[in-house]
């Protein structure tokens, strides 16, 4: 039986860092493929998201559209409402957000007042089920911040095994803001032939990159030639994610907001640091094999590696299509009416103007892509 001293020793064992976990995995099993390194660095023990990395103005590492303010969620709620009507306003309509972070989009979608994720008493009165909002987030620290009215889970299968979702196709929508760029990628490097990047341990015990033999077979989306040293992501995980997300739904749609480049061939001509980026504390980080677990690793999404979407729009086009201009005008009018004696509510209406500027910025968030895949009905 362990003594008290042993118990103390167990309690004080430090949490492993991502770098030590990766080094230990390589020492035990041999080199790791880059997507495995990225998975450990972001989501493993001591990984960036595991240990509290997140979007947000205060205490966050980067700003995303939901974190700009409530306007983004208000417009997304309009799209959800339109999908709900399109599929016939069914009972049990489910909104699933994957990579929900601390739940900011969920909060703002509900605060729009357009959708009923409501209370059970309304169900008694109307005999109808309100909508479900399932917030799926891998990071336990971010799940802890989710509001109590969402079904907060680490994976969709947790929602099924926990009894919150039926085990079968759903009617509803699946939304992901800046998820695809954070899914682990395989990494290819051109030096006369395309080779795959792996990570091994150097003589000093640090993680270093090593290249495989030329890859064979040659994926269709991969250009035959490229500048020496060119790199491209192999987005197997993102392609699988889209296929599975669409497969979850018997009717409805999947909507993903992200930074997207149409073809892998275009990425091959870009300096790799412009599409394979690291971030921490609102600034660009170090090389992707440095500071493992201490910085976000994110990649531009190559559209030609994903199942073909039903629609592709810029974020600016999408938000305008779903009424951002009307919402901003409503804010302007409300602010003008209250300007003599401003209230908090009036100031929130006024902030729609600056939020829209950020969300529509053609050199920033407005240039993101919005990819939509319709599930077959």
Ligand X SMILES: C[S@@+](CC[C@H](N)C(=O)[O-])C[C@H]1O[C@@H](n2cnc3c(N)ncnc32)[C@H](O)[C@@H]1O
Q: Which residues bind ligand X (CB under 6 A)?
A: 49, 55, 64, 66-67, 98-101, 104, 136-139, 142, 177-179, 182-183
Min dist. Cβ of residue 23 to ligand X (A): 23
The whole-angstrom separation of Cα 267 and Cα 270 is 5
Min dist. Cβ of residue 6 to ligand X (A): 34
Min dist. Cβ of residue 32 to ligand X (A): 18
Decide whether 31 or 184 has the Cβ nearer to ligand X. 184
Q: How far is CA 135 from CA 95, 98, 252, 357, in A?
A: 8, 6, 17, 28
Decide whether 251 or 296 has the Cβ nearer to ligand X. 296
Min dist. Cβ of residue 286 to ligand X (A): 18
Q: If we measure between CA atoms, which residue out of 256, 250, 110, 118 comes closest to residue 174?
A: 256
Min dist. Cβ of residue 52 to ligand X (A): 10
Decide whether 78 or 107 has the Cβ nearer to ligand X. 107
Q: How far is CA 122 from CA 84, 112, 116, 164, 296, in A?
A: 18, 18, 9, 19, 42
Segment (H or E) for 72: helix 71-86
Decide whether 183 or 292 has the Cβ nearer to ligand X. 183
Min dist. Cβ of residue 244 to ligand X (A): 10
Report the sign of the C-alpha dihedral through residues 86, 87, 93, 94, in that order.
negative
Decide whether 100 or 222 has the Cβ nearer to ligand X. 100
Cβ partners under 8 Å of residue 60, min gap 6: 54, 67, 282
Min dist. Cβ of residue 85 to ligand X (A): 25
Q: If we measure between CA atoms, which residue out of 118, 363, 370, 98 comes closest to residue 245?
A: 98
Decide whether 100 or 349 has the Cβ nearer to ligand X. 100
Min dist. Cβ of residue 183 to ligand X (A): 6
Decide whether 190 or 368 has the Cβ nearer to ligand X. 368
Query: Residue of minimal CB distance from ligand X?
Result: 99
Q: If we measure between CA atoms, which residue out of 210, 351, 213 comes closest to residue 289?
A: 210
Q: Are 110 and 132 in contact (CB under 8 A)?
A: no
Q: Are 94 and 165 in contact (CB under 8 A)?
A: yes
Decide whether 55 or 159 has the Cβ nearer to ligand X. 55
Residues in the chain: 377
Min dist. Cβ of residue 147 to ligand X (A): 14
Q: Residue 258: phi, psi to the nearest 5?
A: -170, 175
Decide whether 54 or 350 has the Cβ nearer to ligand X. 54
The whole-angstrom separation of Cα 345 and Cα 331 is 10
The whole-angstrom separation of Cα 45 and Cα 228 is 35
Q: Which two tokens stand for residue 32?
A: 């790791």
């Amino acid at each position: 039986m362990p003594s008290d001293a042993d118990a103390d020793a167990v309690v004080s064992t430090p949490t492993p860092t991502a770098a030590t976990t990766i080094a230990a995995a390589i020492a035990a099993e041999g080199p790791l493929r880059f997507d495995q390194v990225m998975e450990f660095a972001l989501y493993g023990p001591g990984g960036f998201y595991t240990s509290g990395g997140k979007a947000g103005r205060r205490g966050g590492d980067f700003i995303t559209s939901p974190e700009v303010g409530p306007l983004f969620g208000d417009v997304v709620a309009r799209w959800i409402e339109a999908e709900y009507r399109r599929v016939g306003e069914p009972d049990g309509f489910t909104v699933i957000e994957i990579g929900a972070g601390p739940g900011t989009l969920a909060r703002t979608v509900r605060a729009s007042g357009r959708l009923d994720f409501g209370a059970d008493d309304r169900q008694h009165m109307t005999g109808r089920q309100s909508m479900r909002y399932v917030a799926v987030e891998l990071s336990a620290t971010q799940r802890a911040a989710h509001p109590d009215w969402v079904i907060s889970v680490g994976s969709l299968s947790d929602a099924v095994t926990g009894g919150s979702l039926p085990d079968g196709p759903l009617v509803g929508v699946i939304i992901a803001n800046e998820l695809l760029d954070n899914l682990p990628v395989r990494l290819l490097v051109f030096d006369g032939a395309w080779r795959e990047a792996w990570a091994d341990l150097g003589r000093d015990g640090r993680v270093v990159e090593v290249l495989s033999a030329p890859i064979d077979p040659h994926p269709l989306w991969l250009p035959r030639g490229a500048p020496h040293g060119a790199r491209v992501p192999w987005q197997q995980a993102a392609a699988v994610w889209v296929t599975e997300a669409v497969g979850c739904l018997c009717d409805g749609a999947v909507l993903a907001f992200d930074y997207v480049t149409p073809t892998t061939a275009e990425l091959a001509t870009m300096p790799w640091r412009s599409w394979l980026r690291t971030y921490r504390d609102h600034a660009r980080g170090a090389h992707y094999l440095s500071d493992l677990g201490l910085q976000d690793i994110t990649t531009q999404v190559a559209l030609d590696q994903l199942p073909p979407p039903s629609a592709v729009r810029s974020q600016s086009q999408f938000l305008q299509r779903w009424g951002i201009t009307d919402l901003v005008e409503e804010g302007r009018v409300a602010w003008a009416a209250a300007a003599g004696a401003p209230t908090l509510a009036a100031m929130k209406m006024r902030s729609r103007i600056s939020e829209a500027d950020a969300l529509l910025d053609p050199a920033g968030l407005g240039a993101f892509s919005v990819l939509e895949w319709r599930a077959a009905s």
